Structure 1
Amino acid sequence: MFLLRPRAYFLVGLLLILSTLSAVAQQVRFAGRVTEAKSGKAVPFASVFVPGSSQGTTADENGRFTLTVAQPVDSLGASALGFTPLKKAVGTQPTQTVNFALGGGGGFTLGEVTIRPPGEVENPAYRILRLVQAHKNKNNKRSLNTYDFDSYNRLQVFLANMPRDPEEGSLFEQIQNVADSLGALGDTTSGRVALPIFASEAISRFYVQSQPRLTREEIRHTQMHGLAPREGSVLSQIMGTSFQDWDFYRNWQQLLGKDFISPIADGWKFTYEYELQDSVFLGSDYCYRIAVEPRRPADLAFTGLIWINAETYALRRVDLKVSPSVNLNFADNIVVQQDMVASSAGPGLPRRTHVELGVKPLKKSPAFRAEFTTINSDFVVNQDRPAEFYTLPIETLASAYETPPGFWETHRPDTLTAREQGTFATLDSVQRLPEVRTVLDIMDIAVNGYYRAGKLDLGPVLSTYAFNSIEGHRFQLGFRTTPAISRNWLLRTYLAYGTRDGRFKYGAQVSRILDRRTWTVATVERRHDIEQIALLDNAYALENPLFEASARLGNIRSSRPLLRELTSVSLQSDLFRGFTQKVTLRHQQFRPLYPFAYYTDEPRPGAPTEDNFTLSEIVLESRYARDQVLVQSQTQNRRYSIGLMRWPVFTLRYTMGLNNVLGSDFKYQKINLLVTQSVKFGQLGRTDYILDAGYIPSTVPYPLLKNHLGNQTPFYNAGAYNLMRYFEFVSDKYVALQLENHLDGFLINSVPLLRRLNWRLLVTGNVLYGGISRANRAINPTENQFGEPLPTFQALGRTPYAELGYGIENIFKVVRIDFIHRLTYRDSPGARNFGAKVSFQFKL
């Protein structure tokens, strides 16, 4: 290193100043406007450049531009999509005005490749996207108070990638022979074919209120072909517009339980690359055609084309697909195409939507491919209706399945292709094959757990046999009635027997649907069976089938079994959409099948004790789910929640125990609040949380307190404390927060070697604050009258119970492994401070 002397500093500085002055003296500034030669209208986003160099700029939306060059040039050029490029001679003056009038307007091809060096010329598509954002509120259909329309929906499902020569005599050969004779196989040159297995059509009227968002769909006509679900089932109802409501003005598009970012989302520039390709007419609308692709191929984003109206900057058309690099299980070849039309009030509404989705379990295995087509018409906007109108989100009219001959040919808004006509004819033929009916029965058992036998459903099939340490071999038979017997009455019943305890168990439940619009249902239930205290009052947590099966089988003595006799009467109804009220009168008798006792008098040594108890209760429950979509299954007389909800779900439950009523032993109160929600955090994935709080201001034995659900099984359960033992902690006042954040491909997608594995990261956390009163500690003795110890429990201290976990899901597409650390109460007897849990899940 060397130092410059002061004189050298002066010479260097002088040279820099002189060179700067020289450069300034040679600069030339051009300004002007680019217009159409014929009309004089501005040409927005035209390119202005110095021919033969990389110097250039882009005009604004009014065709105006400024361009400064470092030294005099002899000419300037301008070009735009659909126009003939033009060059003009220029002088050497420091400031000049140059206007261009381009000819050849209205063409649809790019006349010249525009050079846009990085850092020198802004991508012209960016200016269009900024204007899309500026006009977003005006063009968004959510700015309409209400809108409704007629909707036609067609769904076709194929079994793709099938061999051209299937096994002789198989069901696939029978379907293929029929399809081949009717021209429904399509291209067979590759030696692989796509067999049609299911198709449906539906015509409905769809109603939407924007604030608050309420929807109603009346399915007026529907038909199904092939391996179809039973008419009136949940699947038959969700084929309508409800699941084709693509809205790219929203930042996130929910597809297959994932959140894909829209190409016109608020953060568009950080997720997508854009290329302005051309300007074209779509009907009478002059539009910019822009290519989009994700900056990072593995992001949950789309690639393809979007068309933007050049006058209103509204989204006019999309032709998008999901990149094969996206971390999705089983899904293959996802395509979304949509055309928008301006409503009478301005904002656009979807006129036609076409979606293709493939599901392939393995790379070389056959795949299911579904094609959805939705065509909307007869739009009516801003026609207000009372909130009661939207009480029933989806309703299938009783006459929906009764269509006269030729109805669909005259009411279908488009024309079927020759292959589609062959598909419908094929499915009508194969639906009568005995093998097809067998497949339908198997599918019904897999989905509903029951086997349809005439007018009865036999099952649940999975409960037919079990083995545990109390009952030994347990055999069970049961059934439920179907709407074929009655649409308003439902009977469920079962009878079970254990070879070790020699007891018969039974259960029966009768429900009467009083009003389907408000889903007012009265239910009477009687049950005599073995239950487990560890699983009582924790029904919401039993969402993992492996955990539930493991907890109920084998040695169940650690979960403190008891014989429970239950009689209950309940009535529930929706006061308004999403707000459900339920009242239950319940009488229960508990006979513990393990050493148990509680003081019946003032808790003290030698006081009288009892080992069983009776309860009479009133249970009041209010549940509010603002955006929940419920559909009614006419084949099961039930309703189901479908789709993801953006708003939290609140459930408030109050239980009052009545003393000396029908032999009851306790007077007590319980209050419980449960809040659940799934929250999207952009690129950081989705977080599911459960907030659970409760208070029992009464003195009762510990089976009536809150027994926090532990997990001594090897299987992970999101609703349990996975390193807590059964009955390790009991509370009469508590608040708990359980979190599960699915990061999807975040971080892992950035590592090339790991990206190929398609693994996904997740983080979990459980925190529980709780306590128990001195009276509730004292009512449960620690030993019986013979001085023998009794099973006991402990309460939380000032420190909360806490777990922190991390894991990997999507291993072999179905395996999830969680690694969990216990952060508090690590020195408790028998405590496990670290554990690994496994679970199996089928997520796309």
Structure 2
Amino acid sequence: MRSAFICFLFFIGFKVSAQQVSVSGKITDDNGKPVPFASVYIQNTTLGASANSEGDYSLQLKPGQYVVQYKAMGLKQETRKVDLKESKVINITLSTAVYQLQTVSITGNGEDPAYAIIRKAIKKRKTYLNEVKAYTCDVYIKGLQKLLDAPKKFLGRDINQIGRQIGLDSNRRGIVYLSESESKYSFMYPGKVHEEMISSKVSGSNRAFSFNRASDLRVNFYENFETWVGISLRPLISPIADNALFYYNYKYIGETVENGKTINKIQVIPRRAHDPCFEGYVYIQDDSWRLVALDLYITKKANISLADTIKINQQFVPVSNKAWMTSTIRFDFTGGLFGFKLGGYFISVYKNYALNPTFNKKDFNEVLRITKGINKKDSTYWQQERPIPLTSEEKTDYKKKEVLAAKRESKPYLDSIDKVNNKFNLLRLTLSGMSLRDRYKKEYYRFDPLLGTFFFNTVQGFAFNYKTSFTKMTDTANNRFFRVGANIGYGISDHILNGGANMLIPVSQFTLGLDAGSDIVDMNNLQPISTLSNTVHGLFAKQNYQKLYQKQFASASLSGRITGGWQAVATVEWANRNWLPNTSAYSFSNNNVYTSNNPLLPAQNIPLFPQNQSFKLSLRTTYDFSNQYETHPNGRRYLPSPYPTIGLSFTKGIKNVLSSDVDYGKLSADISKSDISMGVYGHTSFFIGAGKFLTASSLYYPDYNQFRGNEGLFYRGGISSFLLLNYYTYSTRTEYIEGHFEHNFSGFITNKIPIIRKLKLQEIVHINYLSSPELKNYYELGLGVQYLNLKVLYGTSYNSGSNIHSAIRLGISL
């Protein structure tokens, strides 16, 4: 019986495999050179494939009769009728396409006929944008990145050694990322997507999942703009955008006939070299005026980041009598930084479209699903499923790195890497700190840099506060971990020893935080000035902006996501608080006189508040109106919301609990949103907040509502920060309303100025407002530029219409 059953399974397996045959071969041009990434499609279907970079193709089909179409940009389409009873090899030669000026003529004084075609395409843009309200399809994606050149050493690291670990050759060249994936992709207008990855293969890792995402590669030139975050600060203008004629010149190349339809080839040329525009060709069908293909590129002249050149090739196929959908998209890129040069591509092949299925909006709360096991498909599966054959280089990379992957995931190998990394290095400990790792156990010990440990203020004099921690990852996919940390500090001038310990413990989907000890802390609990900035101002300008007090405390907090976009944190704290006087007047400068540690009476060394005990309960909750998330094998990861976030906070000081002296209740609310796209005009951020003390029977200065002021040259960024407001003077125990607005023009102005445009500066406008009983109508205006993470702003402030202060501010965000 068992033998018969095995024979039966073998027979079934044979019959199933026999249902799949292939048509394969090589695609070359008239000169015999391979045509990379040519499209291969079955006529009147969305079944298709793509040649690889060497011109080889393979298409898996059931036995039957087919009409196979072969096409590539700039080459004449070829068609073959195939009767497939068994696998066949068909090599194809694609001739250069001839685009003839048959129906139009270009006169010396007349407008190029391309403009008439483009105007018709622009007029039809919205029709085709909204043509298909929903669809599903299958997507195959291959991504490849190669290191083309690299320095021998970088930041003290031996790149040759790293290269050997990741499979590079002796010249530090080779494939650094090779991955394939298949997904089921769903779309519903106006931009809702759901992607379920059904298979994944990553060269060099048996555990990783592909970074390939169909949603990341999706482009739609029927939209006015393409927003490529991280690549371009500005949205990129489509060649058929509503205002495209302002940005582009067009040249009619000619027409050709494909499948009985006339196709116009038009060259697109940016009017201004440094606008966020594409160059290349668009192919538009006569009469319908729809896009049937694009072959475009953009260079660093348009101020793109990271890459020198990005090419995009997109082809469409008719899915129904009225709808054309994407058949392939390919991105090619080259670029470099700090002596490293990279090149590569991502290509996606789409098939099995189903148009206008019935969806529920809730179907799109989950944007991405990756389940366990999809990265365990064997080589037989991939040979049957991949629509783009592997090149010889890619086959070698998979084979070579399969051995490396098994080695890298073994305990002996991880221990050997950790042994090298964990060697004591005084310079590294001083400048950047050290992390001792046990990668196999996912345990990490962190020792802060010695350089950042030492500081100066007028309360402690020269002082240090050293921190160390231990972290154990419990859920890598969702960044869940257990952590315990400790710190110890001492002031040379005040002779006060401080120290503490803290813990973060994962509890279901929440995190429990425990903290206790003694510390010297800022009277402004928002800590608007950094310790480093205060040290610099004190030692070099004799300006002691930071005002401090001692707090001995114990606290506990519970934070996490309640559901969807709803998050909350609850904190309970007991503290003994003690005001401290200045104990040091040391400075490299004698130009100024230090103020006292009382911000309200800077000329008098009088305590701002008496020693007191505080027991308080704080609740904070936010909601961002979005329930979108990604599902990974180890849990969910929620995505940032496109909507504003609203927040609600309540703090209650409770008297007579553990000798507490405070008795008050404060309620506040806020709404905020960062990076709201304004198209070619950049992006906007805002924050609006208001609060009121419902009761204020007994409270002290640290309990007041504080604001993110700034008085020094350097300021801490953040949408709720002021540029010129005093750190402490206008803290309130009554009520307030504040508003902050920042607009980043993303180079809209500076990119039009020669030479300056090379700096890739971003223009910044700040407007801040505050009203409270202590400060009636205070507002600020700031203008400046941003370069990478450095901001330079000139700010001026007004109170009830009168100018009170103007200054330059520098901000660095890390």
One fold, TM greater than 0.5? yes
**Kindly tell me: are residues 768 and 751 of structure 1, through their superposed partners in 2, closer, same or farther at Cα, counting changes over 3 Å?**
closer
Q: Which residue of 2 aligns with 1:408?
A: 382
CA distance in 2, matches of 1:488, 1:283: 53
Q: Which residue of 1 aligns with 2:143?
A: 155
Q: Which digits, 9 at most, give the CA deviation of each residue in 1:482-502, with x for residues without a partner?
A: 246998974222122224443
Q: Which residue of 2 aligns with 1:751?
A: 753
Q: Which digits, 9 at most, give the CA deviation of each residue in 1:294-333, with x for residues without a partner?
A: 1111011111111123243222221111134222344211
Q: Which residue of 2 aligns with 1:650?
A: 645
CA distance in 2, matches of 1:304, 1:436: 51
CA distance in 1, matches of 2:554, 2:381: 55
The reply on whether 1:305 has 2:281 as its aligned counterpart is yes
The reply on whether 1:819 has 2:793 as its aligned counterpart is yes
CA distance in 2, matches of 1:437, 1:553: 42
CA distance in 2, matches of 1:592, 1:283: 85
CA distance in 2, matches of 1:454, 1:745: 46
The answer for unaligned runs of 5 or more in structure 1 is 1-81, 83-105, 181-191, 514-520, 599-607, 773-794
CA distance in 2, matches of 1:330, 1:800: 41
**Kindly tell me: are residues 107 and 345 of structure 1, through their superposed partners in 2, closer, same or farther at Cα, counting changes over 3 Å?**
closer
Q: Which residue of 2 aligns with 1:670?
A: 667
The reply on whether 1:200 has 2:186 as its aligned counterpart is no
Q: Which digits, 9 at most, give the CA deviation of each residue in 1:584-614, with x for residues without a partner?
A: 353443534536999xxxxxxxxx9753343
**Kindly tell me: are residues 487 and 174 of structure 1, through their superposed partners in 2, closer, same or farther at Cα, counting changes over 3 Å?**
closer
Q: What's the secondary structure of 2:798's corresponding residue?
A: coil
Q: Which residue of 1 aligns with 2:251?
A: 275
CA distance in 1, matches of 2:163, 2:705: 58
The reply on whether 1:711 has 2:710 as its aligned counterpart is yes
Q: Which residue of 2 aligns with 1:509?
A: 504
Per the normalisation by structure 1, the TM-score is 0.67
**Kindly tell me: are residues 632 and 592 of structure 1, through their superposed partners in 2, closer, same or farther at Cα, counting changes over 3 Å?**
farther
Q: Which digits, 9 at most, give the CA deviation of each residue in 1:371-404, with x for residues without a partner?
A: 2122222222322333333333222102222223
Q: What's the secondary structure of 2:178's corresponding residue?
A: strand
Q: Does the aligned pair in 1 maintain the 2:181–2:210 contact within 8 Å?
A: no
Q: Which residue of 2 aligns with 1:591?
A: 577
CA distance in 2, matches of 1:569, 1:733: 28
Q: Does the aligned pair in 2 maintain the 1:201–1:222 contact within 8 Å?
A: yes
Q: Which residue of 2 aligns with 1:22?
A: none
Shift of 1:526: 0.9
- Where do residues 129-208 of structure 1 align in structure 2 (5 Å cutoff)? 129-140=118-129, 142-162=130-150, 170-171=160-161, 174=164, 194-208=173-187
Q: 2:525 aligns with which of 536, 543, 557?
A: 536
- Where do residues 305-454 of structure 1 align in structure 2 (5 Å cutoff)? 305-344=281-320, 346-361=322-337, 365-428=339-402, 432=407, 451=437, 453-454=439-440
Q: Does the aligned pair in 2 maintain the 1:710–1:728 contact within 8 Å?
A: no
The answer for unaligned runs of 5 or more in structure 2 is 1-75, 77-95, 422-427, 539-543, 582-596, 600-607
**Kindly tell me: are residues 483 and 436 of structure 1, through their superposed partners in 2, closer, same or farther at Cα, counting changes over 3 Å?**
closer
Q: Does the aligned pair in 1 maintain the 2:370–2:632 contact within 8 Å?
A: no
The reply on whether 1:222 has 2:212 as its aligned counterpart is no
Q: Which amino acid aligns with 2:250?
A: Y
- Where do residues 446-465 of structure 1 align in structure 2 (5 Å cutoff)? 451=437, 453-459=439-445, 462=448
Shift of 1:561: 4.8
Q: Identity of aligned pairs, percent?
A: 15
Q: Which amino acid aligns with 1:456?
A: K
Q: Which residue of 1 aligns with 2:470?
A: 479
Q: Does the aligned pair in 1 maintain the 2:522–2:547 contact within 8 Å?
A: yes
Q: Which amino acid aligns with 1:249?
A: Y
Shift of 1:479: 2.6
Q: Which digits, 9 at most, give the CA deviation of each residue in 1:98-149, with x for residues without a partner?
A: xxxxxxxx9843257976357x533322222222233223312x55343222
Q: Which digits, 9 at most, give the CA deviation of each residue in 1:657-683, with x for residues without a partner?
A: 263585463241312212113233444
Q: What's the secondary structure of 1:558's corresponding residue?
A: coil
Shift of 1:462: 4.8
Q: Does the aligned pair in 1 maintain the 2:740–2:766 contact within 8 Å?
A: yes
How many correspondences in the alignment?
A: 656
Compute the RMSD of aligned alpha carbons. 4.5
CA distance in 1, matches of 2:498, 2:813: 34
**Kindly tell me: are residues 359 and 450 of structure 1, through their superposed partners in 2, closer, same or farther at Cα, counting changes over 3 Å?**
farther
Q: Which digits, 9 at most, give the CA deviation of each residue in 1:227-246, with x for residues without a partner?
A: x7x956xxx56532121121
The reply on whether 1:799 has 2:777 as its aligned counterpart is yes
Relative to structure 2, which stretch is displaced further, 670-679 or 651-660? 651-660
Q: Does the aligned pair in 1 maintain the 2:523–2:701 contact within 8 Å?
A: no
Q: Which amino acid aligns with 2:685?
A: D
Shift of 1:558: 1.4
**Kindly tell me: are residues 263 and 395 of structure 1, through their superposed partners in 2, closer, same or farther at Cα, counting changes over 3 Å?**
same
Q: Which digits, 9 at most, give the CA deviation of each residue in 1:665-706, with x for residues without a partner?
A: 324131221211323344433333333444444324342333
Q: Does the aligned pair in 1 maintain the 2:180–2:201 contact within 8 Å?
A: yes
Shift of 1:472: 3.2
CA distance in 2, matches of 1:144, 1:406: 36
Q: Does the aligned pair in 1 maintain the 2:475–2:481 contact within 8 Å?
A: no
Q: What's the secondary structure of 2:377's corresponding residue?
A: coil
Q: What's the secondary structure of 1:394's corresponding residue?
A: strand
CA distance in 1, matches of 2:546, 2:100: 76
**Kindly tell me: are residues 164 and 753 of structure 1, through their superposed partners in 2, closer, same or farther at Cα, counting changes over 3 Å?**
closer
CA distance in 1, matches of 2:341, 2:547: 44
CA distance in 1, matches of 2:567, 2:378: 41
Q: Which amino acid aligns with 1:764?
A: V
Q: 1:296 aligns with which of 263, 272, 295?
A: 272
Q: Which amino acid aligns with 2:498?
A: R
**Kindly tell me: are residues 764 and 735 of structure 1, through their superposed partners in 2, closer, same or farther at Cα, counting changes over 3 Å?**
farther
Shift of 1:165: 14
Q: Which amino acid aligns with 1:352?
A: T
Per the normalisation by structure 2, the TM-score is 0.70
The reply on whether 1:622 has 2:625 as its aligned counterpart is no
Q: Which residue of 1 aligns with 2:14?
A: none
Relative to structure 2, which stretch is displaced further, 213-222 or 742-751? 742-751
